Structure 1
Amino acid sequence: MPQIIPIRDLKRTAEISDMCHNSEEPIYITKNGYGDMVIMSMETYEKNMRKYLKYKDIEVSEKEIEEGKVKEAKSALQGMRAKYGI
């Protein structure tokens, strides 16, 4: 379940840091009752970025397939062997 805290609670930096490290989810910060910011531990951020980049690569690959920017595996491997002398 997401944690939501008001911006005034950011004064308690040590507690907020512990909250971030004890949860694998971001913490939502509100200002005047509305969403304002999101904070998370570096570990959670890096994990989410790795996942995002994988999905981005898949999206690019699917677009290339739709556009016909593909090669047959045999010809691609032959090109690699010729290029690298394998």
Structure 2
Amino acid sequence: MQMIPVKELKDTAKVSRLCHETGEPVHVTKNGCPDMVIMSTETHESLAKAAETGRIVSLVQEGISAVERGECQDAFGAVAALRSKYGL
């Protein structure tokens, strides 16, 4: 994890280079305490994509759990139930 004091933000080219070279967020401290995080656009997009992938995995796991609990039926059963319900 990269950490820099807030005073180093004056050298924007150096901070930008650090963000791009490390490929990870750079944590900025103020008076020795965490204050903010800076990252390259590429890192941000990668983290956002990973978060979305995690959300999709979570939804799939939720679906699998619903099937295991017997709360779902297969497509053939669903179609048969609809045909029966509507006299098709």
- Specify if TM > 0.5: yes
2:5 corresponds to: 6
With normalisation by structure 2, the TM-score equals 0.72
Structure 1 counterpart of 2:53, one-letter code: K
- Any unmatched runs of 5+ in structure 1? 79-86
- Aligned in 2, Cα 1:36/1:67: closer, same or farther, shift over 3 Å? same
Summarize deviations over 1:26-76 as a string: whole Å, max 9, x none: 11101111111111100111011111100111112212332346443x539
With normalisation by structure 1, the TM-score equals 0.74
Structure 1 counterpart of 2:18, one-letter code: M
Aligned identity (percent) is: 35
Aligned residues: 75
1:58 corresponds to: 57
SS of the counterpart of 1:67? helix
- Any unmatched runs of 5+ in structure 2? 80-88
CA distance in 2: counterparts of 1:61 and 1:43, whole angstroms: 27
Over the aligned positions, Cα root-mean-square deviation in angstroms equals 2.1
SS of the counterpart of 2:35? strand
1:35 corresponds to: 34
- Aligned in 2, Cα 1:4/1:75: closer, same or farther, shift over 3 Å? same
1:49 corresponds to: 48
CA distance in 2: counterparts of 1:71 and 1:25, whole angstroms: 44
CA distance in 2: counterparts of 1:41 and 1:70, whole angstroms: 43
1:84 corresponds to: none
